[in-house]
Amino acid sequence: MGRRTKRILLVCAIPVVLVLAVIVAFGPLVRGRVNETAARYGLEVEVDSVAPRLDGLHLRGVVVRHPDAPSIKVRLEEVTVGWSEPRNIAIDGGTVAVDGSPATVLAEVERVRGSLPTGSGTKGAPARTISLKNLALSYKGPDGTVEAKGLSVSREEGRLLLGTESGEGSFFGQSVTLSGAKLELEKAPDLRLAKFTTESLVVRASQAAAEDAPAKSDAPTKSDAPAAPASLSTRVASFRRSLDRASLALEEHTTADAVIQLGGLRGELARAGGPVGIGPGQLKIERHDGRFSIEYRADVAQGSADGLLVKMTVPKLSEALAVSVHGGPVTLEQLGVHDGNFKLENTASTTVRANARFEIDAQGEVFSFNGDAKVEGLSGLVPQAAKEPLKGANGSFRGSLRLALDGSHLEIKGGELELGSVRLNLSGTASRDAEDGKKVDLSFEVPLVPCQALLDAAPKNLMPTLAGMRLAGSFALKGGLKFDTRQLDKTYRLPYDIASTCRVTEAPPAVDVARFRKPFTHRVYAAGGEQRTNFETGPGTANWVSYNAISRHVSTGLLGFEDGRFMSHEGFDHEAIRNSVRENIRKWRFVRGASTLSMQLAKNLYLSRDKLLGRKIEEAFLTMYLEQALTKEQILELYLNLVEFGPGVYGIENGAAHLFRTSPGALSISQAFYLASILPSPKVERFAAGGAVSGGWLKLLRTVMKHSHKRHRLSDEELAAGLAEIPVRGSSAPMKDPNAEIPEGLIEPPAEPGVPLN
């Protein structure tokens, strides 16, 4: 190699050596500068690699710690520091891991802040911008966890922008899951929320977990006894105060035009009575002119009808709280109510629409409703109404309502409740005073409607016994109810008029009375239990007794004890109904019914003993059918051959033999009246130790006999004979009572030889 060539190679090698020298020294120089800068803030920094690039200085694997915050660990995958001023610092990828209780972490953060050099970040500091993206956050503490991915932080025209691709957290059994969250904070002069949006936000809570969460204070309570449930007005007042505090907090930490828009919002609450929820929907909170407005709109499928919109403006404590609901139809499923919630079914096909305004006055004392709401296709289990889930209920309400939250006053104006095509108009007031006196002044009306509509309005399974029944004619009802419990007998009024031409044109096979004209199997309750068993009866069976073969005194006793107007009413005793309602109001609980013999037969023939709303409605229709299809004598014949006269003793044939060892046709007056008297409680016998009817019950029998005599159902001779008898269990002949008080003017019956006396 020539000397000239060597000189050329040496000249070329010098810059290469210089570059290599710079590269070799660059890493330590940068690390030293980084550590020098970090030390001013008390930080410890480790850098895996350093490399220069055209866009700036590139650091990989940067680990940041602070000795006063051991619970917080930060690892940044890539950090780029720009060459030009203002210095741009870009962070891409990394993890922020926090492990410790919230109290511990906050204490460490405060220590770090206290150790920062004074004047840091003040005027004169080098200008720089910082952006972060693709960070992951992980928090683990004794009370819960938080995981977030795709975190980003940047600054833009005086605003701090934060976002996350997805995140989830869980505390005390409550969880939050979100995606596509973006947060804008404005620095003027301190950070305030300007905008917060999410693509989806799901909040799941457990009622039991919330109750198990630690209390805010560890101070001992005065008593471990459970607190009395708060009144409705107290809960409303508490809610108003919480709403006001939330509004003040938002006002303090938001800009004048702040917007919070939560898309894909779902809320779920697990509770003992079944889960409840809301969503998916869109929740929007806007600040304008110093007030916050809230809108919630239920999500609906693309191309479907408008959603349901709920709107309110957060009031001051001195203002009324008003909420408007408008729109629909939307399905319950779109509102976040799913099958199983509140024992509902088919929520995907149940629709709701509303155009209404709800309001609670400024004092938190009165709730009011004005507008209309409608639900169609509602299905679900209602244990008080039927054993099987009800299906396809359609109903609506319109009108205005005002309710005092302490329950002292209720007013309904122009109320119209509609079930199917049947309307019930309601108007009136109800009130309660400080001494628990109650006043009601109510008017009601069912406008003229086809009778078949009464059946069609009921959801399926409410009245299974009537499935297939067809009606003709029309029905209308108009009346009122008025009373003041402090002067009940003077003020009680229950006037009503029924205009009905309803008649059954087609009865289901199981209901058709034709099946009772020959032997049939009747399901009854076995002695000593609720288990039902078969009872063979009907014309031609050993248990059956025709009406003419039964002592007529049994029917007389039935009219005296059970249904005095049986021969004149059409299945329903309206005077008894009015008296029953009055006595139930007097005791403010159910103490007296108004069941007629026809109604009792309907129950015995067709229905179970379950106390269900649907069963009571079925009873009314079946009573109407029996009165149309049978004569009064046929009703009594069926009734007496089916009713229970003792534990497991069904029918008058068995009853007469069981108690008096005689036949239904040979019953004496007192024996017949005794059998009639025990029908409300056939399992309770009214005999004294010696077998004779007890004194108190004997007095009752004789009182009803005298009443029957006044009604011309017993002759003078029959009354005298009945008053002289004492029924004896197991004896076909009653005892004669020598001390019987026979009213003056009656013919005293002659003593029969061989009949035992007292």
Q: Is 676 exposed, middle or buried (0-12, 13-18, 19+ CB in 10 A)?
A: buried
Cα–Cα distance measured from residue 751 to residue 736, given in angstroms and rounded to the nearest whole number: 8
Two structure tokens written together for 107:
């204490």
Indicate the residue type of 662: T
* pLDDT in the model for residue 228: 52
Gap between the Cα atoms of 164 and 174, Å rounded: 20
CA distance 126 to 84: 12
Closest CA to 585 of 485, 707, 499: 485
Displacement of CA 345 from its chain's centroid (Å): 14
Residue 19 has what pLDDT? Answer: 38
CB 260 within 8 A of CB 185: no
Are residues 64 and 45 in contact, defined by beta-carbon separation less than 8 angstroms? Answer: yes
Smallest CA-to-CA distance from 294 within 329, 321, 267 is with 321
**DSSP assignment of 10-52:** HHHHHHHHHHHHHHHHHHHHHHHHHHHHHHTTT-EEEEEEEEE
Evaluate the omega torsion of the peptide bond into residue 280 and state whether it is cis, within 30 degrees of 0.
yes
Position 597 scores a pLDDT of 96
**pLDDT number for residue 84:** 74
CA-wise closest residue to 558 among 638, 672, 637: 672
pLDDT given for residue 747 in this prediction:
57
* Closest C-alpha among 190, 168, 187 to residue 177: 168
Peptide bond preceding 189 in cis form (omega within 30 of 0)? yes
Which own/partner pairs from 551-555 qualify as long-range (CB within 8 Å, at least 24 positions apart)?
551/664, 551/665, 551/666, 551/667, 551/668, 551/672, 553/667, 553/668, 553/669, 553/672, 553/673, 553/714, 553/718, 553/722, 554/640, 554/652, 554/664, 554/667, 554/672, 554/675, 554/676, 555/636, 555/640
Main-chain dihedrals φ then ψ at residue 746, nearest 5 degrees: -85, 150
The pLDDT of residue 642 is: 94
State residue 529's pLDDT score. Answer: 59
| Residue at token pair 């720009």 | 82
pLDDT the model gives residue 328:
86
Residue 97's alpha-carbon distances to 71, 114, 427, 505, in angstroms, are: 8, 22, 64, 78
Q: Do the beta carbons of residue 449 and residue 427 sit within 8 Å?
A: no
Q: What is the pLDDT of residue 300?
A: 65
Within 8 A by CB and 6+ apart from 475, the residues are 446, 448, 449, 450, 451, 454, 498, 499, 500, 501, 502
What distance in Å separates the CA atoms of residue 448 and residue 454, rounded to the nearest whole number?
11
Q: Distance between CA atoms of 614 and 493, rounded to whole angstroms?
A: 27
Q: Are 445 and 478 in contact (CB under 8 A)?
A: yes
Those residues whose C-beta lies under 8 Å from the C-beta of residue 728, and which sit 6 or more positions away, are 660, 687, 691, 692, 693, 734, 735
Start-to-end C-alpha separation, the chain:
158
Cα distances (angstroms) measured from residue 374 to each of 122, 305, 422, 462:
62, 15, 14, 20
Q: What is the residue-wise DSSP string for 683-740?
A: TS--B-TTSBBPHHHHHHHHHHHHHHHHTTSS-HHHHHHHHTEE-BTT-SSPEE-TT-
Which domains can be identified in the chain, with CATH numbers? 1-114+128-149 (no CATH), 507-736 (1.10.3810.10)
Is there a cis peptide before residue 727, judged by omega within 30 degrees of 0? no
pLDDT at 301: 55
Pairing of strands 254-270, 191-198: parallel
Query: The tokens of 667 are what?
Result: 């019953």
Torsion on CA atoms 8, 9, 13, 15, rounded to nearest 10: 20
C-alpha–C-alpha distance, residues 90 and 77, integer Å: 11
Contact 417, 424 (CB under 8 A): yes
pLDDT score for 514: 95
- Against a cut of 0.95, is the pTM above it? no
CA–CA separation, 612 and 463 (whole Å): 10
- The token duo for 347 is 């929520």
- Provide block-wise average pLDDT over 10 residues at a time, the chain (758 residues): 48 41 52 75 84 81 87 88 76 89 80 68 54 87 88 82 90 86 84 91 73 48 52 82 86 91 86 72 91 87 67 90 92 84 89 94 92 95 92 95 93 96 96 91 97 94 94 97 95 96 95 95 76 85 95 96 93 94 91 90 90 92 97 97 92 96 96 95 91 95 95 94 95 90 65 35
636, 484 Cβ separation under 8 angstroms: no
